[in-house]
Amino acid sequence: MKSYAKVQKYLIILLLTMCTTVATAQFTRQQAIDKVLNEIVVADTGNINVYSNLTLKSNNDTIGLNYDTILLCPYNYNWMFFVDDHPLASWAHPCRYIFIDSLTGAYQIVNENQYPECFRYYDCNANNYELVSQMYTYTSPITMPPNLNAPDNTTTTINDNLYAVIIGTQDVVEDPHLFKPNRFWYNISVKYNTLIEKGYSDENIYVHYYDGYSERNGEDLNYDNGDIHFDYAASKSLILETFYNLEGFEGYNSNNDIPKLGPSDQLFVYVTGHGDATNGSSFICCKYPEDEELHDFELANAIDEMNCAQMIFLFQPCFSGNFAYELTDYSSGVACENRIVHTSTSVDKFSTAEYYITANYYGEFTYYWAAAVRGVYPITEAPWDHSDYNVGSFPFHEYDYETYHPRDHDPDLDNDGFVQFDEAFWYADDWDTWSEDHPDNPEPEGYHY
Evaluate whether residue 35 is within a structural domain: yes
Residue 134 near residue 370, CB atoms below 8 Å:
no
Evaluate whether residue 278 is within a structural domain: yes
356 and 308 in a common domain? yes
Nearest to 52 by CA among 31, 35, 33: 33
Strand ranges (DSSP E) for 43-202?
Answer: 49-53, 57-58, 62-64, 70-72, 77-84, 95-101, 107-112, 129-133, 162-168
Instruction: Give the mean pLDDT of 272-279.
Output: 91
User: Residue 263's pLDDT is what?
Assistant: 97
206 and 123 in a common domain? no
- Domain stops at, among 68, 98, 133: 133
201 and 61 in a common domain? no
Evaluate whether residue 316 is within a structural domain: yes
294-303: per-residue pLDDT in tens?
A: 999 999 999 9
Mean pLDDT is highest, among 123-132, 264-273, 276-285, 353-362, for: 264-273
Number of domains making up the chain? 2
Evaluate whether residue 101 is within a structural domain: yes
The DSSP string of 277-345 is EETTEEEEEE-SSS-EEEEHHHHHHHHTT---SEEEEEE-STT-THHHHHHT--TT--S---EEEEESS
Evaluate whether residue 408 is within a structural domain: no
User: Residue 6's pLDDT is what?
Assistant: 47
Q: What angle do CA 255, 256, 257 make, to 5 degrees?
A: 90
- Bigger pLDDT: 371 vs 443: 371
Q: Which amino acid is at 150?
A: A
User: Residue 438's pLDDT is what?
Assistant: 46
244-260: per-residue pLDDT in tens?
A: 999 988 766 577 889 99
Beta-carbon count within 10 A of 200 CB? 22
347-383: per-residue pLDDT in tens?
A: 888 888 888 899 888 999 999 999 999 999 999 989 9
User: CA end-to-end span of the chain, whole Å?
Assistant: 90
Burial of 183 (0-12, 13-18, 19+ CB in 10 A): buried
Evaluate whether residue 199 is within a structural domain: yes
User: Residue 226's pLDDT is what?
Assistant: 64
204 and 63 in a common domain? no
Mean pLDDT over the full length of the chain: 84
- Bigger pLDDT: 140 vs 389: 389
- Bigger pLDDT: 130 vs 138: 130
Mean pLDDT is highest, among 115-129, 286-300, 345-359, for: 286-300
304 and 218 in a common domain? yes
178 and 113 in a common domain? no
User: CATH no. for residue 233?
Assistant: 3.40.50.1460
Residue 18's pLDDT band, with cuts at 50, 70 and 90, is: very low
Structural domain of 233: 159-370
- Bigger pLDDT: 19 vs 421: 421
Nearest to 409 by CA among 378, 372, 357: 372
Range scoring the smallest mean pLDDT among 125-134, 293-302, 418-427: 125-134
CA 414/CA 147 separation, integer angstroms: 26
